[in-house]
Structure 1
Amino acid sequence: MRSVPARVFIVTTSVIIALGAVQYRSAVTQMKGATFHDQKSDDGKYIARYAYLPRNRIALRLYRATTAELLAERVYRYPERIRLFWTEDYLIYDTSAEGDDGEIELPPSWWDRAKAKLP
């Protein structure tokens, strides 16, 4: 027989995994039917693709223009139409965000590139 803390841990972990799977499936379904629009960086090195999702959310993907490699991806809440600002070092997608939450470093960090490879 398992102890009570072990059972609580197993149940809690199972619930978290199940909720994560439901949320992931919902996000994939919404992205599948989304219409993406392109905007090229001023220097032509990158392409930003964005789509409007339900509940005032925006899906943003950053690609390398020459190879079409996905470099970074964000899904965020924004009540207005998207406004992208390209600088030499950043793609700024949310000017109301605090700190560096509303931007993607150019070139994207290894962490952004690694997360973009996940399904």
Structure 2
Amino acid sequence: MAGPVPSEATLGFGAVTKQYENNSNNECNACASTYGSVHRVKSMRRRYLVWALLIAVVVGFPYAYGAWERSKVGECTRQIQPAFARPANSSPAYVGEICFLGSSEFGLLFRLYDARGGELIAERLYYDTDVDMVWGSNKVWYSPHEHVSLPPTMWDRFRAKLP
């Protein structure tokens, strides 16, 4: 014989797993298990990457579309928080605004501002034909089925900061 002959089971897996018949069984098993675990890690990374891209598309596309729609604001109507919807002898705390979106026939944008500083503190995009705000002592309805709590939640304040 001219030299050691590679076994059939270990051919084609690269230099790390190429073992010769004259090596002990323990070394061959170690190489095969190393290849298997490396392969599993690469497979898992690929799977996680596919899921991350899928989630990015599913979440990112609707958000980007909503941001594009919010940029097409048309005619707006503002309403200051009425006296019956706030504590006695206090100044208005909120200003509500409903705007038509230029890109959609029924698209509306509700915005809630802090009356003292003019800061945007809540924003909602919705599709409806009602263009009426109804103020309550702890909520403002911008649609028959949708409202913003007064004061707005931290989630509302966070979302209002996003583009």
Q: TM-score, normalised by structure 2?
A: 0.57
Percent identity of equivalent pairs: 25
Q: Which has the higher contact order (CA 8 A, sep 6+)?
A: 1
Greater gyration radius: 2
Query: Aligned partners of 1:81 and 1:12: how far apart in 2?
Result: 35
The answer (yes or no) to whether the contact 2:93–2:116 under 8 Å persists in 1 is yes
> Aligned residue for 2:108?
58
Query: Aligned partners of 2:151 and 2:79: how far apart in 1?
Result: 16
Deviations 1:34-56 (A, max 9, x none): 22221111132211111112131
Query: Which letter maps to 1:76?
Result: Y
Quote how far apart the aligned CAs of 1:13 are: 4.5
Query: Which letter maps to 2:126?
Result: Y
> Aligned residue for 2:140?
91
Query: Aligned partners of 1:11 and 1:64: how far apart in 2?
Result: 37
How many residue pairs were aligned? 111
Structure with the largest fraction of helix: 2
* Structure 2 portions without partners, runs of 5+: 1-38, 84-91
Question: Aligned runs of 1:1-119 on 2, under 5 Å?
Answer: 3=43, 5=47, 8-9=50-51, 12-13=54-55, 15-16=57-58, 19-20=61-62, 22-31=64-73, 34-43=74-83, 44-53=92-101, 54-78=104-128, 80-95=129-144, 97=145, 102-119=146-163
Query: Aligned partners of 2:99 and 2:137: how far apart in 1?
Result: 24
Secondary structure, counterpart of 2:75 in structure 1: coil
Query: Aligned partners of 1:113 and 1:11: how far apart in 2?
Result: 28
The answer (yes or no) to whether the contact 2:141–2:148 under 8 Å persists in 1 is yes
Q: TM-score, normalised by structure 1?
A: 0.75
> Once superposed, what is the RMSD of the aligned Cα atoms?
2.4
